[in-house]
A and B are shown apart, each in its own frame.
Chain A
Amino acid sequence: MTEPGRQGTPLIQLRGVERVYGQGDARVVALGGIDLDVWPGEFVALMGPSGSGKSTTMNILGCLDTPTRGSYRLGDLEVTELDGDGRALLRRYTLGFVFQGFHLLPRVTAQENVELPLVYQGVPTHERRLRARESLAQVGLSGREHHVPSELSGGQQQRVAIARAIVSQPKVLLADEPTGNLDSARSHEIMALLTRFNRERHLTIVMVTHEPDIAAYARRVVHFRDGHIERIEESS
């Protein structure tokens, strides 16, 4: 097990990132110019009260939203210079998402949900099947391939979502309150799973949470307040 180093270039580099909604009197500053680096293989948690800017940061990192000002480098790409299709391709090949509400396609089996990113990557059917099955096995859901989400428990649904996020072998996994809809026991199972992928595969994880015991799984916790980074806490 190699300790994820902070040497070399960061995988993610935010510089002076601002996000402003509306204009004039309705102007709301969601992010007031933040700097953040995430190195390859890191596990970072973003914390803060609602409206503090953590979710906005998450959306920008996930290329779902674009900064009003500032720079976002992902690997050697300047994301702010990309158009919608360019950002879509980053989401397709480089990023993986896990959401609080699972966000699985409701009437489609677990297997097909996991295959979906590979469909957009144009992976041939046969390979797609194998990789999706393997991915489900890694989250401990072998034998549940043909269940639709409504036949699975919340914890199982979130595992399907994790399988879907890792099946495309992304560089960064973005988890937006992944345990927010789960009880404590399920939450720790999910966190154990994420920690394992972080350790074993050096998968870089950025996670939003407001639960301190969940944030404790991360090596670094970034605290947000009023659209700024208040402090960064390192755990040993």
Chain B
Amino acid sequence: MLGNALREAIRSLGRNALRSFLTVLGIVIGVGAVIAMVTLGRGATQAVSDQISSLGSNIVFLRPARGFGPGQSIIPFKVEDAQALAREVPGVVWSTPVSLRTLTVVAGNQSWSTTVVGAGEGYLEARRWEIVRGRGFLPSELRAGVAVCIIGQTVARELFGADDPIGQRMRVDKFSCEIIGLLDAKGQSAMGNDQDDIALIPLRTFQRRISGSTDVDSIQLSLADGVDNERVLQDIRLVLRERRHLSANMEDNFRLVDSKEIERTLTSTTRMLTTLLGAVAGISLLVGGIGIMNIMLVSVTERTREIGIRLAIGARAADVMLQFLVEAVVLSFLGGTIGIILALTFSFVAAQKLAFPFSPDYGIVVIAALFSGAIGIVFGFFPARRAARLDPIEALRHE
């Protein structure tokens, strides 16, 4: 019986192919939007966490900040602060002081504005950044503040094009340095800036030639895998408070950000956006369902005589009801399936364009398909019941 009802439903929908298509358009858009949102949302979340782990896993940034209350000024960090943290806090693998400034670098007749970073010992290790050509800083170079530099891919491309930059000279601000290394490509950061647009020089060189003081802008720490982050962060705070002579009743005059926290914030933002867009898609599903109900009511009226004939030759009310319910379910399920196909195609293309990973959630796809079928049952019920309750004599007389 169900098989027959299914066959008849498909035939009867096929007879009104254009109308059927327009009817399911709401469902197509609704289901399509849900799947596209979820798929792209997941891709975005994954892209964000990929980019954050490209910073190096489990990184903590320290920055001086204004303490709470009047008359407080920003007290910068010193190289010794970084050294003390590495020494005194267990779980800290690398602690490297960092200063940076945006400066123009020049080689030959090419110039380029980039971020010049004064890197202390362990900077590359903390960020898990490899050198693809040349070499890193020697300990003696870091101590002596020699004029050498390591450049990122973007800087290399802008200044030297396809030429090998190793061994060439580049002018940074007012001094000239020798390029000894080329960094591996890192791509865009989670915030969307180009991580390869960078030039590294020894921190001491930076202090002598650029900033003219022994202050450092920030400290980057990398923590050992599997340590209790909360505890390590607490220890870092305590050591810094002591070094910065803060009494118990004073606020921290520095800020501490760890990459896990950034990751959490970004993922929860993406997730919230996904949920919101999903809700909008849900509303369009509702509208689609009402469209189906509308056209099913029209169909019941149009086919009143057919219903009368079926009742006369022995259909029970339940048989008529089943016939119209199946038709509504086929209609909405079809819409759902078209929606899924369109959404997956669209998200695949969009993921490629936005350089997200394409990661469909097949659980959601199955749920959406079942849900669209359920919409057919819910919104087909009322028209089907109306058909089933027709009086056979009246129905047969209907023109």
Using a CB–CB distance below 8 Å, which chain A residues touch chain B?
A: 59, 62, 64-65, 84-85, 88-89, 91-93, 97, 99, 103-107, 116-117, 119-122, 164, 168
Contact = CB atoms under 8 A, between A and B. Distances in A.
B314 A121 contact: yes
B317 A164 contact: no
Shortest 5 CB-CB contacts between residues of A and residues of B:
A92-B314, A88-B316, A91-B314, A117-B313, A120-B314
A62 B312 contact: yes
Contacts of B393: 59, 64-65
Given A107-B15, A122-B1, A116 B316 contact: no
Please report whether the interface of chain B is mostly helix, strand, loop or mixed according to DSSP. Answer: helix
B263 interface: no
Contacts of B316: 84-85, 88-89
A160 to B, nearest CB: 12
Interface of B: 1, 4, 15, 305-306, 308-319, 392-393, 396
B1 A164 contact: no
A88 B314 contact: yes
Contact of B312 (A64, A84, A93, A119): A64
A105 B8 CA distance: 12
B214 to A, nearest CB: 92
Contacts of B317: 84-85, 88
A92 B312 contact: no
Contact of B311 (A59, A88, A89, A122): A88
Given A85-B318, A107-B15, A91 B313 contact: yes
B319 A64 contact: no
A118 B393 CA distance: 22
Nearest to A120: B314
A62 B318 CA distance: 19
A84 B1 CA distance: 19
22 contacts: A84-B317, A85-B316, A85-B317, A89-B314, A91-B312, A91-B313, A91-B314, A92-B313, A97-B312, A103-B309, A103-B396, A105-B306, A116-B310, A116-B313, A117-B314, A119-B4, A120-B314, A120-B315, A120-B319, A164-B313, A168-B313, A168-B314
Contact of A103 (B4, B312, B314, B315): B312
A103 B1 contact: no
A119 B4 CA distance: 8
B94 to A, nearest CB: 76
A120 B312 contact: no
A88 B315 contact: yes
A117 B306 CA distance: 13
A39 B312 CA distance: 23
A120 B315 CA distance: 6
Nearest to B399: A101
A21 to B, nearest CB: 11
A117 B310 CA distance: 8
Contacts of B313: 91-92, 97, 116-117, 120, 164, 168
A180 B323 CA distance: 32
Nearest to B306: A105
B201 to A, nearest CB: 83
A55 to B, nearest CB: 9
A207 B356 CA distance: 75
Nearest to A84: B317
A163 to B, nearest CB: 12
Contacts of A104: 309
B267 to A, nearest CB: 55
A5 B314 CA distance: 29
Contacts of B392: 64
A30 to B, nearest CB: 12
Contacts of A91: 311-314
Nearest to B309: A103
Nearest to A97: B312
A117 B308 CA distance: 13
Nearest to A116: B313
A119 B310 CA distance: 11
Nearest to A92: B314
A62 B396 CA distance: 13
Nearest to A96: B313
Nearest to B316: A88
Contact of A105 (B309, B311, B315, B318): B309
Most buried by A among B308, B314, B317, B396: B314
Contacts of A88: 311, 314-317, 319
A171 to B, nearest CB: 13
Contacts of B4: 119
A103 B393 CA distance: 12
A103 B396 CA distance: 8
Nearest to A56: B393
A107 B393 CA distance: 22
Contacts of B308: 103
Contacts of B318: 85
A32 B17 CA distance: 51
B10 to A, nearest CB: 14
